[in-house]
Amino acid sequence: MMSNKFKSKNVTFIITILLLMSFISSIFALPNANAQTTTAVTFPFVDTVPHMAGVSQPVLINWGLINYLTDVKDGWNVTLQIFYPNGKPENHTGKTWSTGTVGRRLSFSEPGNYTLRCVFDGEFYGTGTSRKWYEPSISANLTLQIVEDYWKPDHPGHSLPTEYWTRPVDSQLREWYIMMGSWIIARDSRGAPLYAPYNYAPESAHILWSMPIGDNMGGLSGGDNGPIGYESGEAYDGKFANSLIISGVLYYNKYVSASPKQTVVAVDLHTGKTIWEKDFNFGSTAANRPSGGQILNFINENNRGSWSYLWFTSGTNMYAVNPATGDLMYNMTSVPSGTIYFGINGEMLKYRMVNYGTNANPNWYLQRWNSTHVVNNGTRVSTADAWGTNTRGTTYNADRLGWDLNVSVSSLTFVPGQANVTAAAATGSLSGASQQAAPLTVKPDVRAIFGNISANGVTLTGISFDQENSVYVMYNRRDWTAPKEWADLQSFGWAAHSHEDAVSIIWTKDNTKNYAFSLETGKFLWETDSQYPTDAWASRTGCIAYGKFYTSSSSGILYCYDIQTGNELWTYVARDKYTESYHGENWWLILQFISDGKVYVGHEVHSPQVPISRGAPYFALDAETGDIVWEIFGAFRQNHWGGRSIIGDSIIATMDVYDQQVYAVGKGPSEMTLTSSNAVTNTGAAILVSGTVMDISPGTQQDNLKFRFSNGVPAVSDESQSDWMLYVYKGFDEPMNVKGIEITVYAYDGTDKIDIGKTTSDARGRFSIVWTPEKEGKYDIWAYFEGTKSYFGSDTKTEVAVLAAPAPVEQEPDPPYGLYIALAAVAIIVVMILCTIVVLRKK
């Protein structure tokens, strides 16, 4: 049995140990103990926008600490506590920005009062002597009211323009973005995407302006040269190549592709005015032409907005030029090879598969290069989050800084036929690699497809991304065997890709067929019947949009197929009714682009004859039915070796081979005048109301048009537009059957609107209508043109004072002069008779 003395010593020892442990723990628990750690009071808060909202209406909740942090990458860990009307708690944790604030949009399905507060558990922050313990705290409660049958008014927004518009567009007019697309991938690249969303694409051939492309004279040379025109850049000397549209500005090269002098011209698409012209010296001839454009949305804690660039490429160097001024902003060296894809924020991305193993024991990695990461990853200053600060005169090593994804694809044992890179030759980021492979097509953050075509068949490998940027192999197919006839084919290639429809198309030139493969499974889907044999004379263009595959070539036939079944839905044949073309009875067709439910198509040839064939078509078809929307013959002839027509801000920009002019095609402004035959009139008295409706597009102010149309260029109907444009801008014969614009005329006396009627302008833009006012007063006489597919509407007015008609004046009856004359005559006769009697009596 243990003695009391021993028990006492044990108890004393245990108490001592407990006290010691308590003391030690207090050292770590109390930040202001002898370690000389200072404390700081924290100031938590919570706020909502709005304070009262409707059921399921989004509410912005901001919470955090008023205490800010010193580094942009730092933040507090704070908790938002929400107590529902029934008392149920709900916690939302978050890390604040360096400002001390974090925000989220939440909505609530139950009406009632919600109690919100911010809870901070305390944290150490700082280094060295500035390190402090920021004390735990809880904010004051905030009440959020959620009310049934209530909705905090949203901003009403703004309507789309009903008048001619120009850039810049106020950023508050958010709804307008849907018609403000850009064209940032060089159009003459055969693989460039041809689907162009975010446009209200032109529905007539109305021309806004024209200007000489600038490198030489255009059109008919004249005189002893007979009917031969100036050289057009065909063949091999392409013009208008690499043309781009960025935010309403057209960028094109003045000179042919091989010219030692290269001048980039920036033209406002809406006004036709040249913003700047500049020669660049980034290396070779090709390097001094834009290789592409970019509009980057850069969004982080302190710097948010869009940045745009013209990119020039010289070898592995890329130069970013300010589109507004033509000034160099920054550049990248050692840019890896590969096709550029654009991420969700406009960042330029390149993908590749790299094998760090051997053929026998492969070790494949999927890698992604990101142009934005080049700048952010290479910045080590306090302004790391400010894009503009880090892209002013800076040079970045793109290969060293740009790779932001490097994920093992361990299950992959085979990548279809791509070029190999030996380990001995590999440098930079490829150091240690035995092979690399470029993708066939990529949809960033969704999938990358690697593929190869041979006479034996098609191989496809699909790699899928998930939200955490890990990847897995969707399929690795080598089981589709090509038809026997492929062994004798001379040419085949990929014609189009669509990640939205998950289909890629192969075109085989010799047998003029299309073959479709699924991007989701890699399996063969369908093949078409052979198209017209002359399609084998040239490569073809194709585009997938609206669940359909559109394709055309030298046969002069545009085909439309169902993308899932391959069924032919419709065709359009472009007949050459005068057989000017030497390729056959049809015009060689080249698909230009697809936008706003319309397919735009033009004509080109490899090497035009002289004299050049007349009346080449340019037209728009309904993408669903293949019906003509509009067409023009003899304008906008395309350039096979240079650039073709492109679209941005709902305006088509194109070069015309016939006259070496650049044209802008789109809906233009109109202007009206109005007069009356009498400024003051009376009730019941007819007056003539007359005026004009004119086209005031920028091109109508060009000298050549002002000389011919001294009173202005009349606006005409949509159905007359094509022939009218040929007359106005190209000097064709004036059409004799021109139909004008319908005008509505009405009077307004301040209270009542009186319809006067409708009338139609003539080929000189004049219109008139007769009005007989019935009531006195001062009237505004309005003429209104509601607009057409070719013009935005306009209106104007004049004033007329209508007075009461004067009352009729009562006149006294005229004296009976006839009676007086008759009586006088009778009197004279009587006197004569009496005189005669007197004379006879004297005898």
Q: What number of other Cβ atoms are within 10 A of residue 179's Cβ?
A: 18
DSSP 160: P
Handedness of CA 709, 714, 719, 725 (dihedral sign): positive
755 pairs with which residues across the strands? 746
Give CA torsion, residues 280, 283, 289, 291, to 10 deg.
-130
pLDDT digit string (tens) for 186-236?
A: 864 445 689 999 999 999 999 999 999 988 888 999 999 999 999 888 878
Strands (E), 131-287: 132-134, 137-138, 142-147, 207-212, 244-246, 249-253, 263-268, 274-279
CA 712 remoteness from chain centre = 32
Collapsed DSSP state (helix, strand, coil) of residue 484: helix
Taking phi over 0 as left and psi of -120 to 50 as alpha, with beta for the rest, 149 belongs to left
User: Residue 286 — very low, low, confident or very high, per pLDDT cuts 50/70/90?
Assistant: confident
Q: What is the DSSP letter of 256?
A: -
User: Could you tell me the sign of the dihedral formed by the alpha carbons of 83, 84, 88, 91, in that order?
Assistant: negative
DSSP reduced 3-state for 696 = coil
Q: How many angstroms separate the CA atoms of 599 and 536, rounded?
A: 22
pLDDT in tens, 589-642: 999 999 999 999 999 988 888 899 999 999 999 999 999 999 999 999 998 888
Give mean pLDDT, residues 503-530: 95
The DSSP code sequence of 578-624 is: T---SS-SB--EEEEEEETTEEEEEE--SS--SSPPS--EEEEEETT
Exposed, middle or buried, 663 (CB in 10 Å: 0-12/13-18/19+)?
A: buried
- Is the pLDDT reported for residue 421 higher than 60? no
**Alpha helices by DSSP H, 71-148:** none
Return d(Cα 283, Cα 803) in angstroms, integer. 78
Give the pLDDT of residue 441: 93
Place of tokens 């055969």: 190
Question: In angstroms, rounded to a whole number, what is the distance separating the alpha carbons of residues 529 and 510?
Answer: 13
| Tens digit of each residue's pLDDT (9 = 90 or more) over 159-168 | 999 999 999 9
Which residues pair with residue 252 across a beta bridge?
Answer: 265
Name the residue with higher pLDDT: 512 or 37.
512
Winning range, highest mean pLDDT, from 46-55, 211-220, 573-582, 806-815? 46-55
Query: How far apart, in whole angstroms, are the C-alpha atoms of residue 656 and residue 212?
Result: 10
- Give the 3-state secondary structure of residue 81: strand
Q: Pick the closest to residue 682 from 775, 745, 746, 751 (CA basis).
A: 775
pLDDT band at 71 (very low <50, low <70, confident <90, very high): confident
pLDDT category, 3, cuts 50, 70, 90? very low
Tokens of 400: 């060293």
Q: Of all residues in the chain, what percent carry a pLDDT higher than 70?
A: 90
| pLDDT recorded at residue 83 | 98
Q: Which residue blocks in 230-279 are alpha helix, DSSP H?
A: none
Q: Per DSSP, what are the bridge partners of residue 783?
A: 745, 796
Q: Give the integer Cα–Cα distance in Å for 512 and 383.
A: 57
Stretch 536-541: mean pLDDT: 80
Query: Residues 81-124: pLDDT tens digits?
Result: 999 999 999 999 999 998 999 999 999 999 999 999 999 999 99
Q: How far apart are CA 565 and CA 563, in angstroms?
A: 6
Average pLDDT, the chain: 89
Q: What is the mean pLDDT of residues 311-330?
A: 97
Where residue 351 falls among pLDDT bands split at 50, 70, 90?
very high
Q: What pLDDT is recorded for position 835?
A: 67
DSSP helix/strand/coil, 101 = strand
Report the candidate in 388, 261, 274 with the shortest Cα–Cα distance to residue 322: 388
Contacts by 282-287, CB closer than 8 A, 24 or more apart: 282/312, 282/314, 282/317, 282/319, 283/314, 283/315, 283/317, 284/314, 285/257, 285/258, 285/259, 285/260, 286/257, 286/313, 287/312, 287/313, 287/314, 287/315
**452 pairs with which residues across the strands?**
459
Query: 765: Cβ–Cβ under 8 A, 6 or more apart, which residues?
Result: 692, 693, 694, 711, 712, 713, 714, 715, 740
- Going by pLDDT thresholds of 50, 70 and 90, the confidence category of residue 436 is confident
According to DSSP, residue 9 is labeled H
**Alpha-carbon dihedral 478, 480, 485, 487, rounded to 10 degrees:** 10
CA distance linking residue 648 with residue 201, whole number of Å: 9
Question: Residue range 458-464: average pLDDT?
Answer: 92
Is the pLDDT score of 26 beyond 70? no
Residues 6+ positions from 428 with CB-CB distance below 8 Å: 334, 399, 400
Rounded to 5°, the CA angle 213-218-221 comes to: 165
Joined together, the tokens standing for residue 439 give 């993708």
DSSP string over 13-30: HHHHHHHHHHHHHHHHH-
Map tokens 């001048």 to a residue.
263
Residue-level pLDDT at 21: 45
d(CA 54, CA 50): 10
What percent of the chain lies above the pLDDT cut of 90?
71
Which SS3 state, helix, strand or coil, does residue 825 take?
helix
Average pLDDT over residues 709-714: 97
- d(Cα 541, Cα 493) in Å, to the nearest integer? 11
Contact 248, 272 (CB under 8 A): no
What is the predicted pLDDT for the residue at 429? 84
pLDDT surpasses 60 at 2: no
Distance CA 154, CA 399 (A): 47
Average pLDDT over every residue of 796-824: 80
Report the pLDDT value the prediction gives residue 613, as an integer from 0 to 100. 93
Confidence (pLDDT) at 150: 95
Task: Return the SS3 of 348.
Answer: strand
In this prediction, residue 10 has a pLDDT band, given cuts at 50, 70 and 90, of: very low
Count other Cβ atoms within 10 Å, centred on residue 395. 12
pLDDT bucket at 369, cuts 50 / 70 / 90: very high
Q: State the average pLDDT over residues 271-300.
A: 92
pLDDT recorded at residue 9: 44
Distance of alpha carbon 597 from alpha carbon 506, whole angstroms: 24
**pLDDT given at position 811:** 67
List the structure tokens of 510.
């010799």
* Exposure on the CB side of residue 208, measured as CA atoms within 13 A: 27
Displacement of CA 412 from its chain's centroid (Å): 39
Residue 439 is given by DSSP the state -
| Amino acid in position 109 | S
Distance CA 554, CA 638 (A): 13
Both tokens of residue 331?
Answer: 């550049």
Q: Which pLDDT score, from 0 to 100, does residue 609 have?
A: 86
Measured over the CA atoms of residue 580, residue 586, residue 590 and residue 596, the dihedral's sign is positive
Q: Exposure of 328 by Cβ count < 10 A (0-12 exposed, 13-18 middle, 19+ buried)?
A: middle
For residue 799, what are its two tokens? 């004033």
Average pLDDT over residues 363-380: 86
At residue 841, the pLDDT reads 65
For residues 345-363, give the mean pLDDT.
91
Q: What is the pLDDT of residue 839?
A: 61
